């Protein structure tokens, strides 16, 4: 599916980078069933037919679609509300409405991408949930500095130096720090540290760095692969270590 207008992570060129590509893109034939899937269900067909019509019928369908998307956006807002105590009710209301508006534009722009792999409503919901989630993440980080440096290294360092900490654990943590410093590019270091250590949401970092979620995740993926390779070259069986830590 091509990138939706205003969508926070337009499709990047990630094939061949170690991220697998499991979807074959098709031409925009209308609601052609995907092979191996059930045919497009009757309700979904009715949605498509009405949204592709004209006049009052289409207007009514668009209105119903907006109501559906608003319900999904409000659902997302309600799920996240406990983590956003600083936001007032009217702000959350506005965010849900904006998310529904943006999702409506995306859904209408991508009707031809709906292949019937799910019900139309499930397909449409994900646009509203994405829009609401991204807006809420950005709102939560509005005005906050995005930490790109490894300010949480101290956690690792103190943990490594804890009395009783096993030598192997300390060696592993040292190897991780060396791997980040030596095996990764500066950009990969900053992205890995911000996303994986400092907990910066990927949409927020993408916004600050002027890139997309997809492109940023590719950077993260490549950094992780390099770090894993570095640790393997240093003789660490990281999967076994992680499993033993459970």
What residues make contact with another protein under the rule CB under 8 A? 1, 3, 9-12, 14, 18-23, 37, 72, 75-76, 79, 117-119, 121-123, 125-126, 129-130, 133, 137, 155-156, 159, 164, 166, 169, 172-173, 176, 192, 196-197, 201-203, 213-214, 217-218, 220-221, 224, 227-228, 231, 238-239, 241-242, 244-246
Return the number of the residue (53 or 185) whose C-beta is nearest another protein: 185
Query: Could you tell me the smallest distance in angstroms from the CB atom of residue 225 to another protein?
Result: 8
Residue partners of 101: CB distance under 8 A and separation at least 6: 66
Smallest gap from Cβ 159 to another protein, in A, equals 6
Confirm if 209 and 5 have CB atoms less than 8 A apart.
Answer: no
Q: Report in angstroms how near the CB of residue 121 gets to another protein at its nearest.
A: 8
CA angle 193, 195, 199 (to 5 degrees): 100
Least distance in angstroms from the C-beta of 238 to another protein:
6
Burial class (CB in 10 A: 0-12, 13-18, 19+), 139: middle
Nearer to another protein, 55 or 163 (CB): 163
Q: Which is nearer to another protein, 54 or 154 (CB)?
A: 154
């Amino acid at each position: 599916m091509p990138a939706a207008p205003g969508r926070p992570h337009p499709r990047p060129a990630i094939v061949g980078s170690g991220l697998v590509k499991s979807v074959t893109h098709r031409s925009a034939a209308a609601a052609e069933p995907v092979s191996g899937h059930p045919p497009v269900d009757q309700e979904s067909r009715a949605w498509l037919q009405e949204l592709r019509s004209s006049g009052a019928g289409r207007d009514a369908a668009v209105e119903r679609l907006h109501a559906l998307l608003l319900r999904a956006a409000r659902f997302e807002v309600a799920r996240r509300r406990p983590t956003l105590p600083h936001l007032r009710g009217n702000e959350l209301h506005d965010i849900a409405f904006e998310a529904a508006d943006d999702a409506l534009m995306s859904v209408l722009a991508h009707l031809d991408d709906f292949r019937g792999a799910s019900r139309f409503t499930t397909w449409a919901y994900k646009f509203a949930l994405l829009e609401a989630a991204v807006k809420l993440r950005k709102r939560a980080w509005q005005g906050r500095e995005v930490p790109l440096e490894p300010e949480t290294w101290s956690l690792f360092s103190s943990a490594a130096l804890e009395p009783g900490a096993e030598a192997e654990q300390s060696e592993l943590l040292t190897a991780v720090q060396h791997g980040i410093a030596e095996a990764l590019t500066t950009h990969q270091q900053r992205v890995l540290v911000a996303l994986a250590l400092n907990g910066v949401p990927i949409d927020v970092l993408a916004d600050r760095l002027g890139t997309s979620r997809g492109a940023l995740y590719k950077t993260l993926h490549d950094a992780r692969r390099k770090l894993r390779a570095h640790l393997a070259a240093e003789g660490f069986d990281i999967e076994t270590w992680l499993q033993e830590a459970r």
